Every structure is written in C-alpha cells, then in structure tokens.
C-alpha cells in the first residue's frame, strides 16, 4: 500500500488549518471588521429577543387547530388517495398534519420568514425553481411551509430530493410521507402531469454545500427541469431564498471524510471544534423568500444542451434579480 | 369436423399457483390441461393430466411431439435461497430454454412465462412507477436473483428470435395467498420485523388475481412484457398492521452480518439481502397490463393479506409446494 494517500490527507488537513486561520484573522482584523462584528452582535441580540418573545406568546403566531385541520382537509380534498391514505409516492396529508407544528415553529419563529409574491404561485401544475444553500435543506422546508401555511388555498410542495437523502433512515420516511420524492425525472414528470407544484433546486448538492465565501453566487444549474417544463407545459416560478446562505458557515468541505462516510459533502464550520456535529444546525438567520412572475417556455424538450442553456440562463437571471432585490432590501442577516 | 379441444400445458402445476391455474382452466369449456411437475399434485381433478417428470428431461419432448399444444403456461420457476446457485441456474435457465425450444420446434403459438416483479429490485432511487422497460437491477444487491433475471431476459429474446410465437412475460407484484414466497412467509411470522426509520411502499397481488392475469395473458394476439399490479401501493407498516400481529423494530445497520450468520445456521429463513424489501420501495407501473391486457384486480389488500394468513404452510396447509 502506498503512503501517497496518507500524505495527501495530511496536506489536506494542513490546507484546512490554513483556511481556518485565514477566516479567523479576517473576522478579527482590528478596526476594519470591528463595526461589522458589533453590528452582527446587535442583530443576533435582536433576533434572540424576537424568538424569545415569540416563544413566550405563542398565541401571536400559532395557527388554531381548526385552521390547520382546514388546510389539511384542503390538501386531502384535491387528491386521489388510496384506502390507506397515501398516493403512489407515499405522500399522506394526515402525516403532514403531525409535523405542521414543527414547520410552523421554523417558519414563523426560528427563521421569521418574510415572504414576497406568494400569490404568483399559480393553481395547477408548476415548477418552483430556487437557489439552494445552507448545508442542510431548511430552504426547502421554509418554501413548503409558505405554501402550506400562508397560501390560500394551501398547496403541498413536492420537492425533488437528492437520492442520498431519501435513502437515509427516518429522514427518507419523513420525506416520503410529507410528499417529497426522490429527484428523478420520471417522478417529476408524473407529479407535474398530476398538476402538482414541484420544487426543484437545479444546483442540487453543489449548491447546498458551497463554501461560505461563495454565498449568493449560484453554482451551475442542471438543465433537466427545463426539459420537463417543456414536456409537460408547466410554468416555472423563479424563487430566491435570501438568508439561508448564511445559516451555516462552511469554511472547508472535508471531501476525504465525506467520501469515507458516503455523504455528498461534509462541511466544517467554525464552531465544530467546540460543539461537534451540532455546529451543522442553522443559525437563526432571517429568511426572505421572493416568488417571481411565472415564466413559460415554448420549444422542443429534446433541443440541444446549448439551446437549453440559454433558457436555463433566463430562469437563473430571474432568480438573480429577485436575489439582488432581497439583498438590497434587507437590513441585516438576522433582522 | 368437430372442433379440437384447446390444449394447455402448465409447468410447475403442483405449485400453489399451478394448482389454482389448473383448476381455473379446468372449469373452462373445451380445454384440455396437461401439467408437468416432478412434485405430486394433491387433490387433482380427475381429467387434468399430470406428467411427473423433470422439465429438463428429454422425455418431456414426447408430449410436444405427439400433441398439438396451443398454449404453454411456464410457472415452473424456482426461487429458494436454501438451494444452491447451480441448481437454480440449471432448473430455471435450462428448463426455460427447453420449454421455449419445444414451443419453437413444435409450433406452439403462445407461451406465457411467469417471471417476477422482483427483477427490478428494491432501491432507494427507484422511481415510484417502475415501467417494463426499466433496467433489471434486482440482482445488484441480491445475487440469488441472477437466474430469474436471466430467465426474464432470455424469454424476451424470443420476441425477436421467433416472432411467430406470441411470448408474454408477466412480472407480478408480491403475490399473497397460499403460496410459499418471501412476502407471504413474512406475513405468516408470529412477530413481523420492520426496520427502524424505514417504511417503503409495497404492492401486493391476491393469488387469484395473479391467476386471472395469467389467463388474460393467454388471449390470442397478445405479446410483450407486463407488470401485474394489484390494489394501490401502501406503506409496509400499514400492511403489517392488517395482520394484527406485533412488530419488532430492528436497526438496519446492525443487521446484515447477523442475519447472514443466522441464515447459515438455519435460524433465519431468509438471507440479509432480502432485508432490502422492507427497506426500500420497488413499486411497479401496472398501466400496460390494464390498458393492453385489460387486467383489473378484483381483490383488495385486506383480502390478499387474509388469503396469506388463512393458510399456515408450517402446519402443512400447503402440500408439495416447492416454489411459488
């Protein structure tokens, strides 16, 4: 056995150490960063008090049981479910009912989501296309919460989930019962043909695991979603999620350990040396979600990649515009 | 000239499905049923003929040489994880090849082969609707299925090699009833193991519906591969709940080694690879069979589960069953 691999890993660790110290000096550089750090502390304090107040006064944000039941009834009404309460994908609105309090807490309290243009999500089939970020897919949960808790009438978003995630115990089961499905073109096509709202993150694992320094720089988009939109005549709703990009600070992607564990990526965050895997949990950033005007495309679903690329670029540009708007409008990361 | 009786050959006639099919055909007018199986056929109706020979034997050929056979129902496939790979390959592949050779040599116009929906295999990244043209990945984690996949593909090669024979390959979902197969055996356990954090979608098919599909496949003019699906898919735990039996929650990451060792020591009746069936979904798209074969299941999930529980094979309820 050669020792090359071992030395390569030592080198990687060294590079990781360098990256970490670089980040630390950048954050603690006197004078220049001072104001920013003060500002961050003020923001965190404000967010903390907002969350504490919300927790003490649940009546200000919690939906009544009847309201939730009415929303779930609405989800049930439009569906052709089996005698056992599920559709062919394993989606069961009654199981969504069980996690609604958790979604409500994340959406209204923890991330204090601010939603713009929800009315732009049409009835019937549509593809929701959003930027993906934050190491863990809370962006998907918050978008789904918006459509479930705030839209009238409510819709259950069907997300195309990375196949690594749906294979996991517990998380996979949770995904399926709540209407999320393995991200396969065939699943997507069938859901669109059944007039569902399908959420796709065309950046996939690339997007969610990108390093902190690349926040708000979208990675390359896959083209599959556009082919499916053309095939099924589905409008595309561009969505920008602002805030999630700062929820978990990925300073180094530990590829070697990720390969060993079989995960798509493994982010090292600044707090990881202190609190271990808990450091993957998101900071209570403020989510701002911008729904754009639906885009419709016409053409051949089997066009060349080059032709597709121009259409995909149009969608990406729409998301970029919404994202720029969100970044310009926000006062801070946590408020 | 009086109209000649339609002559049907059933391989594996002594198996549960073979017996059910034989009885169903026997009730039809103007049909002569001849079975081939080395096992005994208990309580056989008198006018069903039964040749107790191995389908791999040359003696089998006499039947096809001397009789004008109109349709062959090839149900005589074996799947028993206890039997070695050699016996499986020889029985399933050589046997199927032999039957199809006879069909071609003695101009049998129709061959119906009962393959299995397991050829696709349970995988976390399976689509929710597996169509007939999906790759047959069943053996990628469960090597003991290789011979069944080979049989399925071998049968498919007859579509273009001998287009004059109408070959039909049926891939049924899990058949429940008096059959001795993995899923029926599973439901007959006193405590049903489930995997922590996993609840795949499963599809079941009542044994009588499986027979109806086989009969429907014999319709003249019909050829091709068909998934045969019963009532709507349901989560495994809902299926298990219908039995009213207690479940045992097991953590998957600990199991494969333990289960394989138990299988070797004969404490378990299934190898670890079969755990994937209670871990990931493999749900078939039954649209082709509905549209082209006009097959509609007439039994629900509850009836199928009852049918599996009614017969306790360990008390000798089903005789002479080697494989389903």
Put simply, the answer to whether B124 touches A182 (Cβ < 8 Å) is yes
pLDDT for A30 equals: 60
DSSP code at position B117: G
Per CB-CB distance under 8 Å, the chain A contacts of B201 are 86, 88-90, 176
Q: Residue B116: which of B166, B183, B178 has the closest Cα?
A: B183
Residue B320 lies in a domain: no
> B143 in the Ramachandran plot: left (φ > 0), alpha (ψ -120 to 50) or beta?
alpha
> A88: distance to nearest CA of chain B, Å?
6
**What's the domain count of chain B?**
1
Question: What residues in A contact B126, CB-CB < 8 Å?
Answer: 182
Within-domain flag for B127: yes
Mutation to test the A interface, candidates B125, B230, B254, B275, most A Cβ within 10 Å: B125
- Predicted confidence at residue B314, as pLDDT, reads 42
Compare CB distances from A84 to B124, B195, B238 and report the shortest one's residue: B238
Chain B residues within 8 A of A187 when measuring between CB atoms? 127-128
Q: Cβ of A82 and B232 within 8 Å?
A: yes
Please report whether residue B132 resides in a domain: yes
pLDDT number for residue A262? 84
User: What pLDDT is stored for residue B202 in this prediction?
Assistant: 96
What pLDDT, on a 0 to 100 scale, did the predictor assign at position B103? 94
Instruction: Test B301 with A187 for CB contact under 8 angstroms.
Output: no
User: Is residue B305 assigned to a domain?
Assistant: yes
| Distances from the Cα of A293 to the Cα of A118, A152, A242, B100, angstroms | 10, 17, 17, 60
pLDDT tens-place string over residues A53-77: 999 999 999 999 999 999 999 999 8
Which pLDDT tens digit goes with each residue over A121-168? 999 999 999 999 999 999 999 999 999 999 999 999 999 999 999 999
Q: Establish if B286 belongs to a structural domain.
A: yes
- The alpha-carbon gap from A32 to the nearest alpha carbon of chain B, in Å, equals 49
Domain assignment present for B267: yes
Taking residues A246-266, report their average pLDDT: 87
Of A277 and B173, the one with more pLDDT: B173
**What's the first-to-final CA gap in chain A, in angstroms?**
54
Report chain A residues whose CB lies below 8 A from the CB of B232.
82-84, 88
CB contact under 8 Å between A190 and B128, yes or no, is: yes
Please give the domain boundaries of chain A with CATH numbers for all domains: 63-247+282-329 (3.40.1130)
Q: What pLDDT score does A33 carry?
A: 63
Q: CB A90 to CB B235 under 8 A?
A: yes
Exposure letters B168-183 (e unless 16+ CB within 10 A, then b): bbbbbbbbbbbbbbbb
CATH code for the domain in which residue B173 is found:
3.40.50.720
Q: Which residues of A touch B197 (CB under 8 A)?
A: 168-173
Domain that holds residue B309: 6-315
Confidence tier at A29 by pLDDT (50, 70, 90) = low
Residues 72-101 of A with CB under 8 A from B: 82-84, 86, 88-90, 92
Residue B92, in any domain of the structure = yes
- The whole-chain average pLDDT of chain A stands at 91
For residue A99, how many C-alpha atoms fall within 13 Å in the half-sphere facing its CB?
21
Interface of B with A (CB under 8 A): 124-129, 195-201, 231-235, 238, 252, 280-281, 283, 300-301
Nearest residue of chain A to residue B284 (CA atoms): A88
Supply the pLDDT for residue A232.
97
* Count of C-beta atoms within a 10 Å radius of residue B115: 25
> What are the structure tokens assigned to A82, written together?
């089996």
Residue B56 lies in a domain: yes
Spatial distance between the Cα atoms of A279 and A265, rounded to a whole number of angstroms:
15
Mean pLDDT of successive 10-residue stretches along chain B, which has 324 residues: 80 93 90 92 86 87 92 91 84 92 94 96 94 93 89 93 95 94 91 95 96 96 96 96 95 85 82 89 96 96 94 44 39
Burial classification of residue A324, based on how many CB atoms lie within 10 Å of its CB (0-12 exposed, 13-18 middle, 19 or more buried)? middle
Rounded Cα distance between B287 and B251, Å, is 36
Q: How many CB pairs under 8 A join A and B?
A: 73
């Amino acid at each position: 056995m050669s020792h090359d691999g071992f030395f390569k890993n030592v080198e990687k660790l060294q590079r990781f150490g360098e990256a970490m110290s670089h980040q630390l000096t950048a954050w603690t550089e006197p004078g220049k960063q001072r104001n920013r750090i003060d500002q961050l502390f003020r923001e965190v304090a404000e967010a903390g008090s907002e969350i504490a107040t919300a927790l003490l006064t649940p009546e200000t944000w919690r939906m009544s049981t009847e309201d939730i039941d009415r929303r779930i009834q609405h989800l049930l009404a439009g569906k052709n479910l089996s005698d056992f309460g599920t559709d062919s994908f394993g989606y069961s609105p009654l199981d969504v009912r069980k996690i609604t309090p958790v979604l409500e807490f994340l959406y209204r309290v923890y991330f204090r989501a601010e939603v713009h243009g929800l009315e732009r999500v049409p009835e019937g089939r549509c593809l929701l296309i959003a930027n993906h970020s934050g190491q863990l897919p809370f962006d998907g949960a918050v978008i789904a919460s918006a459509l479930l808790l705030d839209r009238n009438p409510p819709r259950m978003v069907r997300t195309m989930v990375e196949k690594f995630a749906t294979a996991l115990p517990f998380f996979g089961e949770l995904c399926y019962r709540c209407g999320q499905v393995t991200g396969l073109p065939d699943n997507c096509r069938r859901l669109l043909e059944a007039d569902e709202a399908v959420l796709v993150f065309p950046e996939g694992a690339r997007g969610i695991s990108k390093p902190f320094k690349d926040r708000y720089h979208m990675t390359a988009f896959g083209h599959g979603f556009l082919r499916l939109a053309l095939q099924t005549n589905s409008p595309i709703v561009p969505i920008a999620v602002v805030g999630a990009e700062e929820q978990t600070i990925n300073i180094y992607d530990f590829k070697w350990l990720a390969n060993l564990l079989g995960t798509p990526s493994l982010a090292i965050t600044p707090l990881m040396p202190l609190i271990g895997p808990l450091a993957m949990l998101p900071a209570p950033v403020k989510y701002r979600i911008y729904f754009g005007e639906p885009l419709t495309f016409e053409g051949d679903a089997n066009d060349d990649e080059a032709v597709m690329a121009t259409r995909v670029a149009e969608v990406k540009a729409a998301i970029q515009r919404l994202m720029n708007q969100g970044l310009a409008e926000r006062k801070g990361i946590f408020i | 000239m009086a109209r000649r009786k339609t002559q049907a050959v059933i391989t594996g006639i002594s198996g549960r499905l073979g017996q059910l099919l034989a009885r169903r055909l026997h009730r039809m007018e103007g049909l002569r049923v001849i079975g081939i199986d080395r096992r005994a056929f208990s309580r056989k109706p008198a006018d069903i003929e039964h040749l107790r020979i191995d389908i791999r034997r040359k003696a089998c050929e006499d039947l096809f040489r001397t009789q004008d056979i109109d349709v062959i129902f090839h149900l005589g496939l074996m799947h028993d994880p206890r039997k070695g790979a050699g016996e499986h390959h020889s029985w399933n592949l050589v046997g199927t090849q032999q039957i199809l050779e006879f069909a071609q040599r003695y101009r049998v116009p129709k061959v119906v082969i009962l393959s299995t929906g397991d050829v696709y295999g349970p995988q976390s990244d399976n689509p929710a609707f597996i169509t007939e043209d999906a790759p047959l990945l069943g053996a990628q984690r469960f090597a003991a299925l290789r011979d069944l996949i080979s049989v399925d593909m071998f049968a498919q090669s007859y579509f273009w090699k001998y287009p004059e024979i109408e070959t039909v390959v049926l891939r049924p979902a899990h058949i429940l009833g008096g059959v001795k197969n993995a899923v029926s055996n599973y439901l007959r356990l006193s405590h049903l193991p489930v995997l922590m954090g996993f609840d795949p979608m499963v599809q079941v098919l009542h044994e009588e519906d499986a027979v109806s599909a086989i009969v429907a496949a014999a319709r003249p003019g019909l050829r091709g591969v068909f998934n045969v699906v019963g009532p709507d898919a349901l989560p495994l735990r809902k299926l298990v709940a219908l039995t009213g039996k207690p479940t045992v929650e097991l953590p998957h990451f600990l199991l494969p080694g333990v289960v394989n060792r138990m299988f070797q020591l004969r404490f378990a009746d299934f190898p670890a690879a079969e755990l994937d069936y209670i871990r990931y979904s493999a749900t078939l798209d039954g649209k082709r069979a509905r549209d082209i074969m006009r097959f509609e299941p007439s039994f629900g999930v509850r009836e199928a589960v009852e049918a599996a529980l009614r017969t306790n094979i360990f008390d000798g309820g089903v005789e002479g069953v080697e494989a389903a």
